[in-house]
């Protein structure tokens, strides 16, 4: 884990009321906003692909945007496979 990510997580509070694993919360402030907690979701690069051994066909590829930070490639593959079937690859890329 990069130093900056560890440093950010060390400066978060952890709320265990919603989940046994807890939620990382970081307090931000601005002129309009005082002391707002935002959730920080650590995400590993190993979560970005599911079944990368196949060849991708561009005509059978879809883009799905605005995913929640807790969603990884395997979950996307499972959801799409349940809905449409035949999923052989899923990739999640940050922009």
Q: What is the pLDDT of residues 16-44, one digit of tens each?
A: 998 888 899 999 988 888 889 988 888 77
Residue 5: the pLDDT is 83
Residue 95: the pLDDT is 59
- 88 pLDDT above the threshold of 70: yes
Q: Are the C-beta atoms of 22 and 30 separated by less than 8 Å? A: no
CA dihedral 75, 36, 9, 92 (to 10 degrees): 20
Q: What is the CATH number of domain 44-95?
A: 3.30.70.330
Q: Is 90 exposed, middle or buried (0-12, 13-18, 19+ CB in 10 A)?
A: buried
Q: Region 60-81: what's the mean pLDDT?
A: 88
Whole-angstrom Cα distance, residue 15 to residue 22? Answer: 5
- Where in the chain do CATH 3.30.70.330 domains reside? 44-95
Q: Region 68-95: what's the mean pLDDT?
A: 88
């Amino acid at each position: 884990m990069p130093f900056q990510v560890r440093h950010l997580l060390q400066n978060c509070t952890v709320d265990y009321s919603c989940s046994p694993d807890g939620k990382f919360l970081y307090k931000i402030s601005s002129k309009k906003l005082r002391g707002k907690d935002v959730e920080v979701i650590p995400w590993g690069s190993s979560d970005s692909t599911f079944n990368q051994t196949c060849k991708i066909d561009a005509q059978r590829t879809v883009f799905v945007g605005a995913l929640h930070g807790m969603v990884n490639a395997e979950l996307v593959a499972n959801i799409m496979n349940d809905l449409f079937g035949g999923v052989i690859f899923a990739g999640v890329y940050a922009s």
